[in-house]
Structure 1
């Protein structure tokens, strides 16, 4: 029996999946973030090891039994100088045969296995990835908080924090968002966040987007405006994909924690549905399966992968 390992190292948490070739064995593990820019190499390595060991232990499999693996990592191939460090780190974590990709590609592979399509992922960061009929992959945004990630959780969270300080010093009279943020993070003075663990933490700043969504649902005009701004940025990214192909309509799926905010998601979906060049679809599989598909394709032919995906579809249908 051959086993495959898939690791989804996101900006919020890391997931690991161990799967046998016949899908009779499926083990999973979870750990903290794997963003090397915000966490540092040692923390990322520990989180990867913890997630992998947990998935192996859950099905009593040793790492030596893994024939191929795939790691989806934040910032990989982003051009920010982390690729060499990530390559070295993963070689220490898993010395066997592996493929490393940007974590957004896992969502693309899981949403559109072995076919064309676009995935708009908005979590801590934001990126659209598109594969055309010739199997060429293109990306839009995902350039980090200094140059991009427009409409991401970090984008919304940072604007929320800036708005809260405007409310604190009187530039904005409405203090509803300020009060909600202070209550959620447990401070009595918003100035405490300047020296708080929020300083330099993408994950914590991004977490404020959930507060914005919650306050927007209470009919707060300022929070609604922040979400509408993020919606517009996401739609700019989505519309740009139409310039990458003449094969229309383009199937597109939405993924990531930001789209759990119904106020934002409903507006994005409504706009996509009204565009004849775009076709909104649901992701076929959870993102972590994209890592398994890539691990398999690294050592097996397309026929083997297609048979595996068909088995997974049957298994998924049986459990619905």
Structure 2
């Protein structure tokens, strides 16, 4: 029996899984941040811990892994790979490769070789590959480099909107009460000065209050609408540059904002833009953990043909609901 390691190293967690050649998950391990852009040593430790835990649960040693695939947040440019190649080589798997986490997200969400993925988790990103195998990434580098939103960015939008409403530069919003309750402050004024006086960072979980009040708050809906439009714009750019306008393919939606938030407030705006760019595109919310895509890529890199049964078993073992449980 051949075994494969798939690792999803994200900004908030690292998930490593070991699968046999039939798609049965025989080991898994979880650790912290696997993004070297947050911290090289932190990412090294998290990836090592998650991989070791998965191997331990599987009762295997690394020499028994035919191929290890690492899908890592922050693996965007050659400058990143100069850091990541020796880091992954230190793990001493017989054969391995590194791709951006957008790549494994796309592979986990579609059974075609081509497609597009938009990510909206801690940050945002977009990636696509056409029928000729040409690939393109759009975004993934933060607000200063053209992106909008993601968990961190949306949390900032929530916080600053509450401040602006308090000052009178925005209309009153239900976000105010939700933020004060979430953070435990009696007033915006107290919150304002406490954050300034102590240099506090805005917590990413504030993004969740957008969905809590969106049904009854226009301001929250407007922020979520912009998030959808920005993701749709990134996807349509990739579609245009890769010449995919006339193709039929899946647009895979990845990240907690898209897969666990209320789809009414973001996804229709993605769809409106993308369907204009490529009418044959079908939107699919990712139902499996991206680590499943890392496993599939590992199998393919090792020359193993992925059968229908493999997809079914990975779906059983690595559904988002199963991993959360």
2:253 aligned partner: 254
1:264 aligned partner: 265
Alignment check: 8 A CA contact 1:165 1:190 kept: no
- SS of the aligned residue for 2:33 comes to coil
- SS of the aligned residue for 1:82 comes to helix
Query: Pairwise mapping of residues 233-252 of structure 1 onto structure 2 (< 5 A)?
Result: 233-243=230-240, 244-246=242-244, 247-252=246-251
Deviation at 1:71, TM superposition (A): 0.8
2:322 aligned partner: none
- SS of the aligned residue for 1:110 comes to helix
Distance 2:180 2:67 in 1: 46
- Name structure 2 gaps, 5 residues minimum: 320-325
- SS of the aligned residue for 1:142 comes to coil
- 1:57 is aligned to 2:60: no
Distance 2:201 2:230 in 1: 24
Alignment check: 8 A CA contact 2:66 2:95 kept: yes
Question: What's the TM-score once normalised by structure 2's chain length?
Answer: 0.83
- 1:277 is aligned to 2:274: no
Query: Pairwise mapping of residues 171-186 of structure 1 onto structure 2 (< 5 A)?
Result: 171-172=169-170, 174=172, 176-186=174-184
1:144 aligned partner: 142
- SS of the aligned residue for 2:143 comes to coil
Residue 171 and residue 268 in structure 1: after superposition, are their counterparts in 2 closer, same or farther (change >3 A)?
A: closer
Distance 2:316 2:82 in 1: 42
1:120 aligned partner: 118
1:222 aligned partner: 219
User: Which of 303, 306, 313 does residue 311 from structure 2 map onto?
Assistant: 313
1:27 aligned partner: 27
Question: What's the TM-score once normalised by structure 1's chain length?
Answer: 0.84
Distance 2:222 2:63 in 1: 52
Q: Name whichever of 262-271 and 24-33 sits farther off.
A: 262-271
Distance 2:230 2:23 in 1: 40
- 1:161 is aligned to 2:177: no
1:46 aligned partner: 45
- Name structure 1 gaps, 5 residues minimum: none
Distance 2:14 2:59 in 1: 20
Q: Name whichever of 14-23 and 180-189 sits farther off.
A: 180-189
Alignment check: 8 A CA contact 2:232 2:270 kept: no
User: Which of 287, 292, 310 does residue 290 from structure 2 map onto?
Assistant: 287
Deviation at 1:17, TM superposition (A): 0.6
- SS of the aligned residue for 1:214 comes to helix
Deviation at 1:95, TM superposition (A): 4.8
Deviations 1:166-220 (A, max 9, x none): 2343433515323322322344532333445526xxxx33x32212221213x11
Distance 1:231 1:71 in 2: 28
Residue 4 and residue 112 in structure 1: after superposition, are their counterparts in 2 closer, same or farther (change >3 A)?
A: same
Distance 1:230 1:107 in 2: 19
Q: RMSD over aligned Cα, in angstroms?
A: 2.7
User: Which of 81, 84, 90 does residue 82 from structure 2 map onto?
Assistant: 84
Q: Name whichever of 69-78 and 56-65 sits farther off.
A: 56-65
Deviation at 1:314, TM superposition (A): 4.5
Distance 2:97 2:139 in 1: 23
- SS of the aligned residue for 2:269 comes to helix
Deviation at 1:273, TM superposition (A): 8.2
Aligned residues: 307
Query: Pairwise mapping of residues 8-19 of structure 1 onto structure 2 (< 5 A)?
Result: 8-19=8-19
